[in-house]
Amino acid sequence: MIATTSVDLNAKIPNNVGLADDPKLQRALEKWLPNYLEWWHDMGPTDFEDKPVFLRTAISVERGGWANYAHVRMPDYRWGIFLEPNKTDPTIKCGDDAGAPAWQDVPGEHRNALRRIIVTQADTEPASVEQQRLLGHMAPSLYDLRNLFQVNVEEGRHLWAMVYLLHKYFGRDGRDEADELLLRRSGDEDKPRILGAFNQPCDHWLSFFAFTMFTDRDGKYQLAALAESGFDPLARTTRFMLTEEAHHLFVGETGLGRIIQRSAELQKIDSNGDVRAQGGIDFDLIQRTINYWYTYSLDLFGGEISSNASTFFASGLKGRFREDNYEDHKAIEGMYRMPVVESGKLTEQDVPMRNAMNEVLRDSYVKDCERALGKWNKLLEEAGSPTRLTLPSRRFHRHQGIYAGQFFTPGGELISEDQYRASEDKWLLVPEDNDYLVSLMKPVYEPGKFANWIAAPRKGIDGQPIDFEYVRMD
State the pLDDT at residue 142: 98
State the pLDDT at residue 8: 65
Total Cβ atoms within 10 A of residue 201 = 11
State the pLDDT at residue 64: 59
Q: The whole model's pTM is what?
A: 0.95
State the pLDDT at residue 10: 58
Distance (Å, whole) CA 317 – CA 230 = 6
State the pLDDT at residue 58: 81
Domain around 212: 19-440
Distance (Å, whole) CA 166 – CA 468 = 40
**Does a structural domain hold residue 454?**
no
Are 368 and 216 within 8 A, CB to CB?
no
SS3 57: strand
**Does a structural domain hold residue 388?**
yes
**Does a structural domain hold residue 242?**
yes
DSSP 307-334: HHHHHHHHTTSS--TTGGG-S-SS--S-
CATH of the domain at 262: 1.10.620.20
Question: Which helix (DSSP H) or strand (DSSP E) does residue 72 occupy?
Answer: strand 68-73
**Does a structural domain hold residue 345?**
yes
State the pLDDT at residue 80: 87
**Does a structural domain hold residue 451?**
no
DSSP 142-205: HHHHHHHHHHHHHHHHHHHHHHHHHHHHSHHHHHHHHHHHTT--TT-SSS--SSGGGGS---SH
Q: What is the pLDDT of residues 297-335, one digit of tens each?
A: 999 999 999 999 999 999 999 999 999 999 999 999 999
Residues 392-405, buried b or exposed e (16+ Cβ, 10 A)?
A: bbbbbbbebbbbee
Q: Which amino acid is at 234?
A: L
| Total domains in the fold of the chain | 1
**Does a structural domain hold residue 9?**
no
Question: Which helix (DSSP H) or strand (DSSP E) does residue 336 occupy?
Answer: strand 335-342
Spatial CB neighbours of 295, under 8 Å, sequence gap ≥ 6? 392, 394, 396, 397, 398
| Cα atoms found within 13 Å of the Cα of residue 300, Cβ hemisphere only | 31
Q: How far from the centroid of its chain's Cα atoms is residue 154's Cα?
A: 11
Distance (Å, whole) CA 305 – CA 238 = 25
State the pLDDT at residue 204: 97
State the pLDDT at residue 311: 97
* Intervals of the chain under pLDDT 70: 1-11, 60, 62-66
**Does a structural domain hold residue 310?**
yes
Question: Which helix (DSSP H) or strand (DSSP E) does residue 372 occupy?
Answer: helix 357-382
Distance (Å, whole) CA 104 – CA 230 = 9
**Does a structural domain hold residue 51?**
yes
Nearest of 126, 118, 138, 117 to residue 186 by alpha carbon: 126
